Amino acid sequence: MTLRHRFGIMLVTLLGVGPLMVSSGMAADGGALYRGKCAMCHGPAGAGRPGTFPPLAGRVGLLVGNSDGKAYLAAVLLNGLHGPITVEGQSYKGYMPSFRALSDDDIAAVLAYAASLGSGGTSAGISAQDVAPMRGTPLDVTAVQAKRAALQASHVIP
Ligand code: HEC
């Protein structure tokens, strides 16, 4: 191998590793993620659209205060959710896509941002450690719905 080759490989290695190191040092921006990936359906302030997209404002905040609630939120983001569901007496039969392509950090950050929205908003934490255990076991829609029904039955969410 010539010296020039070796230098070329070194340069490729440096260029490849550089951006990775930079991005792992940056905290995920939940607000930017929300505006880019959620606001088009749930609205910029999380108000939703009655009968089509359920409101998140004041509701995600209730869920992050509860360990089963956090697991449910992670399950929705990782697996998606299809109706029918009832939210504050209104029925929805929509389709929420899966965001499994996002990292655990990004999912936690976007959920923390959603939890801060609305009058019932909270800064209660949700972290990558709450998301990671849910990634290993993909859930079908019936299983995600069952988690939701349990939270409604125990009045964590109305
Ligand atoms: C394409 C539209 C769409 C996008 C984009 C979307 N959602 Fe949803 N989301 C929905 C729909 C529709 C439902 C309700 C599904 C149903 O009817 O079962 C839902 C449900 C939810 C729920 C469950 C609410 C509850 O009361 O149980 C949460 C939490 C949620 N979305 C968060 C998010 C977050 C965070 C993002 C961005 C990462 C996002 N959604 C992006 C359409 C969307």
**Is residue 120 in some structural domain?**
yes
Q: Which residues contact 68 (CB under 8 A, 6 or more apart)?
A: 147, 150, 151, 154, 156
For residues 99 and 72, is the Cβ–Cβ distance under 8 A?
no
Q: What is the pLDDT of residues 66-105, one digit of tens each?
A: 999 999 999 999 999 998 999 999 999 999 999 999 999 9
3-7, 108-112, 120-124: least confident range: 3-7
Which atom from ligand 1 is nearest to the alpha carbon of 52? 12
**Is residue 18 in some structural domain?**
no
Indicate if ligand 1 lies below 6 Å from the C-beta of 78.
no
Q: Which of 41, 62, 76, 96 to mutate to test the pocket of ligand 1 (most atoms within 8 A of CB)?
A: 96
Q: What is the pLDDT of residues 32-68, one digit of tens each?
A: 999 999 999 999 999 999 999 999 999 999 999 999 9
Provide the domain limits for residue 118.
Answer: 27-153
Q: Looking at the 3D structure of the chain, how many domains does it have?
A: 1
Which CATH number goes with the domain that contains 116? Answer: 1.10.760.10
